[in-house]
Amino acid sequence: MRLQAWQVGLDIQAGFARAIAVQRRRHGWQLRHWWQHPLPDFTLREGILHETAPLIAILSFWRKTLPSTLSLRISLPAQRIMQQRMAAPDVRMPEPARSAFIFAHAAKQFPLSIEHLVMDYRADPCGDNQMVVTAARQQEIEQWMCCLAQAQLFPQVIELAPCALQVAAHAAGLPGDVLLIHPLDDAILWASPHGLPFQFGLFDNTDAQADTSLAERVRTQYRAATLCEAGGYYSGENPPPSLQSWSPLSAIGQLSAPLPVSPGAFAPAVGLALRHMDC
């Protein structure tokens, strides 16, 4: 049987770069490689890439450990993603006019003009004929792509970190109605259940030690919280009250030692590696 190329998920956060590589085998996914490397201070600040030279050097060294052919997937920092909601246009409007209408209308709500944004949209099954439009800054995406290219890394997929978290949770068999909470190196990311309408948000790390439970804080932000089970799943060590820990590596059938000491930190990278290619 002809071997599939490695699918590599690369997750770069303020404190670390982490990667997971999988390969599809006869009996499911096999873990082929994992990697993490601390990043110098101020490489990323609030999701914005600042010091690129050290990052390029780190990624270039890592690239040499990978096969020449691979499918690379990266995530965009959640801090830099913008979202707006809007009424869906008439269902009779054909493409591409429908997409153009949605993007033009949503762009009026964003702080930048449409030519400076990269946007996507999806229907909100919990909304009354509503659309959720997601946008990222074109300049920032180009900066990421330039940095990666200098390390001989060329992503085939660019995904949102919370979406990658959902993919990992679904692949690991987590229920489709539980909230997902992931500790980043400089914040706490939450994502809606993989089986419910999409939404995500961020908390400061100090909120994990607040008097009000972290799960309850998330529920107050998620518009479809009434459809969720109580509590949630936490991809980190020592979960706060009412949250359960889980390992994203359970989504990969074939594992071999050594494995990461803190597998939960690799949840977005696992989701990226397992994500389907866009058609």
Range of the domain at 86: 80-137
Give the pTM. 0.91
Considering the domain architecture, whether residues 236 and 198 belong to the same structural domain is answered as: yes
What's the rounded Cα separation, in Å, for the pair 227 and 274? Answer: 27
Considering the domain architecture, whether residues 19 and 70 belong to the same structural domain is answered as: yes
Look at residue 222 and tell me whether its pLDDT is greater than 80: yes
- Taking only the tens place, the pLDDT of each residue in 158-175 is 999 999 999 999 999 999
Mean of pLDDT over the chain:
90
What's the rounded Cα separation, in Å, for the pair 71 and 169? Answer: 21
- Domain boundary residue among 137, 157, 182? 137
Considering the domain architecture, whether residues 15 and 74 belong to the same structural domain is answered as: yes
Look at residue 279 and tell me whether its pLDDT is greater than 50: no
What's the rounded Cα separation, in Å, for the pair 169 and 146? Answer: 31
Considering the domain architecture, whether residues 38 and 146 belong to the same structural domain is answered as: yes
Distances (CA, A) of 234 to 137, 169, 244: 29, 10, 6
74 or 237, higher pLDDT: 74
Say which CATH number the domain at 33 has: 3.30.420.40
Q: Is residue 89 part of a domain?
A: yes
Considering the domain architecture, whether residues 49 and 92 belong to the same structural domain is answered as: no
Domain count, the chain: 3
Look at residue 71 and tell me whether its pLDDT is greater than 60: yes
What's the rounded Cα separation, in Å, for the pair 13 and 16? Answer: 5
**Closest to 235 in 3D by CA, of 177, 164, 160:** 164
Considering the domain architecture, whether residues 58 and 93 belong to the same structural domain is answered as: no
**pLDDT at 211 (0 to 100):** 52
- Taking only the tens place, the pLDDT of each residue in 260-278 is 999 999 999 999 999 987 6
